[in-house]
Amino acid sequence: MRKIVLSVIAAMVAFSAPGTSLADGHKGKIQKYGEANVMGWLGSPEMIKAVQAQNAKHTSLSAADIDKLDKTWRAEKKAGGGALIESKMNNDFSTYLRGIKAKAGGVITEIFVMDNKGLNVGQTNGTGDYMQGDEAKWKKTFLVGPKAIFIDDVEKEDGINISQTSLTVVDSAGAPIGAVTIGFAVDKLK
């Protein structure tokens, strides 16, 4: 348990590390909200267990295997669902993430967690693809290290101003094991 607490503290440092603190605008608001509300679940046993389990399961995946999984995801998305999407949207970990989102009262618009290959582990909302490893949300966190944080620009989605914030997920020893992306409705942040 002490190691998990230390992992959470390491993530808190990421929110307040030099270069990430902005007093004004959405980044400062996200930082403040993250320090107060995200750190409690970022290093949770549920998250660490889910990511580690998928990392172990996917150890031998090749680039061709990942491409095939991503194509399957996209086809299922277009078709309105399928086994791969269901396995990620309806697992216990995704239920856990939906509970976090619900408690946020509309401040959090989405949460999705990726493994050490950039593949979805669990999520609150559907993603367009299964493989996030080619995107900044994974490259600027998992590949950077345990204290990495990436706060994206604000974009309007369905009439809501949203900024995605991504952080590295670390294990109980503080080693990077995956990444998490959290969508924030920036107009609801104080």
User: What digits encode the pLDDT tens for the residues 76-118?
Assistant: 999 999 999 999 999 999 999 999 999 999 999 999 999 999 9
104 contacts 55 by C-beta, under 8 angstroms:
no
Q: How far is CA 96 from the centre of its chain?
A: 13
89 contacts 123 by C-beta, under 8 angstroms:
yes
For residues 48-87, b (16+ Cβ closer than 10 Å) or e, as one string?
A: bebbbebbeebeeeeeeebeebbeebeebbeeeeeebbee
pLDDT(31) > 50: yes
pTM: 0.86
Alpha-carbon distance of 75 to 129, in angstroms, equals 9
CATH number where 96 lies: 3.30.450.20
Total number of domains in the chain: 1
Sorting pLDDT into bands at 50, 70 and 90, what band is 124? Answer: very high
Show the domain range for 33. Answer: 2-188
